[in-house]
């Protein structure tokens, strides 16, 4: 049986994927300067929930569920995504350092929220 954290991961990941696909089709990332901020936040939530899902599927150790480790994983995924954006040439901002810093902060905040939600659910079950 699926754990609630895994169900939340699947829902949040699906929402992220669908909204991203729509945003790409409608050029929302380029037409709305703020649009990527909630996407990075949701991405952080998804990555944190993914760690709990991997634990639920017994693919990683329980030790990986410590707050610092989850946040480090979220940060590494966020940095990797920012490097991908740089490589793909999707950066349209004149001040890309500020934009990248804000994206990383939003991803980390989302990761913290994702961790807190998943950890709270685990304590209740």
List pLDDT tens digits, range 16-49. Answer: 999 999 999 999 998 998 999 999 999 999 999 9
- Position with higher pLDDT, 105 vs 91: 105
Residue 93's pLDDT band, with cuts at 50, 70 and 90, is: low
Domain boundaries, the chain: 4-124
How far apart, in whole angstroms, are the C-alpha atoms of residue 30 and residue 116?
32
Is the model's pLDDT at 92 over the cut of 70?
A: no
List pLDDT tens digits, range 52-82. Answer: 999 999 999 999 999 999 999 999 999 999 9
What is this structure's pTM?
A: 0.93
For the chain, the straight-line distance linking the first and the last C-alpha, in angstroms and rounded, comes to 13
Is the model's pLDDT at 91 over the cut of 90?
A: no
Calculate ∠ Cα 53-3-124, nearest 5°. 110
* Neighbouring C-beta atoms of residue 104, cutoff 10 Å: 18
Residue 1's pLDDT band, with cuts at 50, 70 and 90, is: confident
């Amino acid at each position: 049986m699926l754990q609630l954290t895994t169900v939340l991961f699947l829902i949040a990941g699906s929402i992220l994927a669908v909204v991203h696909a729509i945003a790409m089709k409608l050029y929302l990332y380029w037409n709305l300067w703020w649009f990527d901020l909630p996407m990075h936040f949701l991405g952080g939530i998804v990555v944190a929930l993914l760690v709990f899902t991997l634990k639920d599927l017994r693919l990683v150790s329980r030790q990986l569920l410590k707050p610092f480790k989850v946040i480090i994983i979220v940060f590494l995924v966020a940095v990797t995504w920012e490097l991908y954006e740089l490589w793909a040439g999707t950066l349209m901002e004149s001040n890309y350092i500020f934009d990248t810093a804000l994206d990383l902060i939003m991803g980390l905040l989302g990761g913290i929220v994702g961790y807190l939600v998943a950890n709270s659910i685990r304590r209740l079950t």
